[in-house]
Amino acid sequence: MIRRPVVSGKFYADDGEDLKSQIKNCFFHPVGPGSLPVTSERREGTIGLIVPHAGYMASGPVAAWAYWKASSLMRPATVVIVGPNHTGLGTRLSLWLDEAWETPLGSVEIDHELGERIIAMSNGMIVSDTAGHLYEHSIEVQLPFLQFLYDDFKIVPIIMTDQRLETALMVSEILEKVSSERKDLLIIASSDLNHYESHEITMEKDSELVGLLIERKYREAFDVSRERRITACGLGPIVAVRESFESMDVLSNTTSGEVIGDRYRTVGYFAALLQ
């Protein structure tokens, strides 16, 4: 089975040339980094990213910060992408092991060897499953940015329906192990932050949450999210990837209000580098 794009023409342009132009505009947007990335030839040196996954017209300039930084540090052989499940379909932890994923910029192959290794290490928690991925956008929207930067890489897509802290830490242990075995990985957590409140409220809530994540205070992060109703949709993927690295540097943290102008009903976005 080849995974066809489901949000092209909605979250990003469905024509290849238009999509390249759209991505370039994300880098040059006033909220973006201001220049196109320069891609390193360095293969080894696994790093992580936290990247938003909304439509490019809203979150693209923030996502551009993450990819701009990553491109200067390494050229990965495989990208592991961990995203949340917005559809409710599939298993608790779904890893796509079928054939390639397609976007308007071409196809990306699956790293079957690494995917099977991750499944084997999970003791039945992570399973091969396509249903969780069929209509889910959180991984798909990362691919055109990656294709814009890199011409030769594979992916391992993982969707988390079960985002409990204990599950996220289990996934983190696996990511740490594969990172020790492979030095040519880029590991991405795909998540937006607080939803549908004003720019000021969202920034206040998100700043508190991001501060806890920097300090690795995960239990507090989950508690604060519940108590203050911070509606970050991918807290599980964020913790799973964050805990796999020592340091976390925030590259951009704002809301859709700063990007598209509506500051009354916003979504929070942040981009971070993990090393």
Question: Environment class of residue 36 by beta-carbon count within 10 Å: exposed (0-12), middle (13-18) or buried (19+)?
Answer: middle
Quickly list DSSP for 24-59.
HHHHHSTTS-SS-----------EEEEE--S-HHHH
Asked whether residue 9 is assigned to any structural domain, the reply reads no
Number of domains in the chain: 1
Asked whether residue 51 is assigned to any structural domain, the reply reads yes
Distance, CA of 75 to CA of 248 (rounded, Å): 20
Asked whether residue 79 is assigned to any structural domain, the reply reads yes
Distance, CA of 68 to CA of 70 (rounded, Å): 6
Domain of 161, CATH number, reads 3.40.830.10
pTM for this entry: 0.97
Give the pair of three-digit tokens for residue 228: 């203050």
Distance, CA of 222 to CA of 236 (rounded, Å): 9
Asked whether residue 6 is assigned to any structural domain, the reply reads no
Confidence of residue 1 (pLDDT cuts 50, 70, 90): confident
Asked whether residue 3 is assigned to any structural domain, the reply reads no
Asked whether residue 4 is assigned to any structural domain, the reply reads no
Distance, CA of 74 to CA of 95 (rounded, Å): 24
Buried b (16+ CB within 10 A) or exposed e, 86-106: ebebbbbbbbbbeeebbbbbe
The pair phi, psi for residue 115, each rounded to 5°, is -60, -45
Tens digits of residue pLDDT in 115-156: 999 999 999 999 999 999 999 999 999 999 999 999 999 999
Tens digits of residue pLDDT in 224-248: 999 999 999 999 999 999 999 999 9
Across 111-200, where does the E strand assignment appear? 127-128, 154-160, 185-190, 195-197
Asked whether residue 11 is assigned to any structural domain, the reply reads no
Q: Which domain holds residue 83?
A: 16-274
Compute the radius of gyration of the chain from its Cα atoms: 17
Tens digits of residue pLDDT in 163-184: 999 999 999 999 999 999 999 9
Asked whether residue 5 is assigned to any structural domain, the reply reads no
